[in-house]
Amino acid sequence: MSSLEKIINELSLHEKEVLLSLHSFEGKSTPEDIAKNDVGSLVKVMNASSWLQSKGIVDIHEKLETIYSLTKEGKKFLTQGMPERQALTELINSNGQIDLDTLGNKIGKDNLAIALGWLKKRDWATLQSKDNKKVILITPQGKKDAQHNTQDEDALKSLKEGSSIQGTSVSSLKKRGAIKEKEKILRTISLTQKGKNILKKGLDITDVLSQLTPELIQTGKWKTATFRPYDVSAFVPSLYGGKKHPLTQLIDKIKSIFVGMGFQEIAGNYVESCFWTMDVLFIPQDHPARDLQDTFYCKQPPRMPVDKHLLDSIANVHENGGSTSSTGWQYKFSKKEAQKSILRTHTTVNTIRYLYEHPDPPSKIFQIGKVFRRENIDSTHLPEFQQVEGIVHEKNANFCQLIGILKEFYHQLGFEKLRFRPAYFPYTEPSMEVEVQWHGKWMELGGSGIFRPEVTEPLGIKETVLAWGLGLERIAIMYLGLNDIRELYFSDLDWLKKLPLL
């Protein structure tokens, strides 16, 4: 058996019917015309044609075309005439002159303003004052154009008759709400040389069975039935099951790592006061991070209540160090500023509140949550992103322990090339930044350090607190091999389907 005969034997009944129909159309036709040729529904035609294309028997050509149709306003223009045409007709009937009020009564006051604009635009009429009245006078161009339709009117008539339109009328009619557009894919199916050779061989359209049913077995008809051969090397479409978004999968993985290291998860609110977000963390009130260009301040509620005793205590720490050994920032603390409400700029606000409510060690907590900053959107920055926050509060905690925790966390995520660099943060000392190598460069993932006495002592915390805040999206783009942080939030379904489970 030749390879061509083998292909013919493996063709389904619908595939043969499509080929014979194409033959009757001289080798080229649309799916719609093939379906009308007693082949079956359009879905069956396209399904059979797709299989024939995968076997190299037909080609399917696609062209995107814009189709225009009349709106309710466009149909109104056809039956009643466009406002400027109605006005021009009234001008002709009034010997080329009509006052504004009369015209408004004739064509409707709703149409009057539109008509005047188009009369002037088309140079059909002019507006003048005469005897204390506004009068419209027809122009020579108006008299001339009164004898024939405009391009827009011809275009509306063409659409009504089922013809297509193009040119400047499309833009004009769209702006006037007279037409609407939609895109349509026009497909053409044509025989390849292999398809022509198959038709020369001849096709037997006797129905053959493709599936063994219980009825065939019970009645014994399977013994005399003809079954279609199967091509085990034929194309089979990929199937993708439902799964979580990769960012959600990564969050679950991070949670599992921290829980496995003995941490407990916490959560908090998006809207917080400047006091808990900034002031408790010893961030001065003139710090650049608190400017309007960096932080989202809320109009509602404009302020949030703060415990007066704690507010006084933190104010003293800022002004002169309070009961700590610090000298503070040496400025006048504004309690009004502290009560302003903002979208939280970091998840540390939840951590410090937790420590205030649970001042006695030990505590090992973490959280993953959204934070908001006025960032310009680029490949590594977003105005809304997520942080991975954590603390260790226990006796004899130290800086080496902090490095060890972060190393273990990243190693469990699969990152090997890490480095820790000295850094400065208002609420930790010593402080460091965690960096991971990405595309041959070192990328900062977040800050860490030991909470300063100005942060912990006013809250009644006596033992050392190790703290860190890491960027989730930056971890994700390296973990998923992306080049742009924005790709995490694009609705690229093909990428989401093909991405393996983390």
Q: Are residues 400 and 307 in the same domain?
A: no
CA distances from 144 to 139, 147, 156, 370 (A): 9, 6, 21, 67
The amino acid at residue 156 is L
Residues 6+ apart with CB under 8 A from 338: 273, 274, 275, 278, 279, 285, 306, 311, 314, 315
357 close to 322: Cβ distance less than 8 angstroms: no
- The CATH number assigned to the domain holding 412 equals 3.30.930.10
Same domain (yes/no): 262, 285 = no
**Among 158, 161, 98, 157, CA closest to 128:** 98
381: left (phi over 0), alpha (psi -120 to 50) or beta: beta
How far apart CA 437 and CA 454 sit, in angstroms, is 34
- pLDDT at 269 exceeding the cut of 70: yes
More confident residue, 114 or 441: 114
Residue 464 has what pLDDT?
A: 94
Number of folded domains that form the chain = 4
349 belongs to a structural domain: no
Q: What is the mean pLDDT of residues 103-127?
A: 90
For residue range 200-226, list pLDDT tens digits in order. Answer: 888 877 666 777 888 888 888 888 877
Q: What CATH number does the domain containing 88 carry?
A: 1.10.10.10
Query: 22 and 105 share a domain?
Result: no
Asked if residue 350 is part of any domain, the answer here is no
Q: Are residues 375 and 453 in the same domain?
A: yes
Confidence band (pLDDT; 50, 70, 90) for 234? low
pLDDT digit string, tens, across residues 325-340: 899 999 999 999 999 9
Tell me: do 277 and 254 sit in the same domain: no
Q: Are residues 278 and 337 in the same domain?
A: yes
**Tens-place pLDDT, residues 463-497:** 999 999 998 988 888 888 887 888 888 878 888 88
The H-assigned helical ranges of 291-362 are 308-320, 335-338, 348-357
Q: Is the peptide bond before 301 cis (omega within 30 degrees of 0)?
A: yes
Residue 476: CB atoms within 10 Å: 21
Joined together, the tokens standing for residue 488 give 């995490």
pLDDT at 334: 93
Print the domain residue range for 471: 238-268+361-502
Cβ proximity of 209 and 226 under 8 Å? yes
Q: Which residues contact 232 (CB under 8 A, 6 or more apart)?
A: none
For 197-231, the three-class secondary structure string (H helix, E strand, C coil) is: HHHHHCCCCCCCECCCCHHHHHHCHHHCCCECCCC
Give yes or no: residues 59 and 87 share one domain.
no
256 CA to centre of own chain: 29
Task: Read off the pLDDT of each residue in 438-465 and give the average, rounded to a whole number.
Answer: 89
84 shares a domain with 108: yes
- The type of residue at 387 is Q
Distance separating alpha carbons of residues 422 and 427, to the nearest angstrom: 14
- Stretch 442-448: mean pLDDT: 87
Q: Does residue 416 share a domain with residue 300?
A: no
The pLDDT score that the predictor gives to residue 395 is: 92
For residue 286, the one-letter residue type is: D
- Output the CA–CA distances (angstroms, integers) from residue 440 to 326, 443, 478, 483, in the order listed: 42, 10, 12, 13
pLDDT at 426 over 90: no
Say if residue 248 is in the same domain as residue 163.
Answer: no
Question: Are 396 and 467 in a shared domain?
Answer: yes
408 & 497 share domain: yes
User: Please, what is the average pLDDT of the chain?
Assistant: 88
User: Which pTM value belongs to this model?
Assistant: 0.58
- pLDDT tens sequence across 371-402: 998 887 877 778 888 999 999 999 999 999 99
User: How long is the chain?
Assistant: 502
Query: Given this model, what pLDDT does residue 282 score?
Result: 92
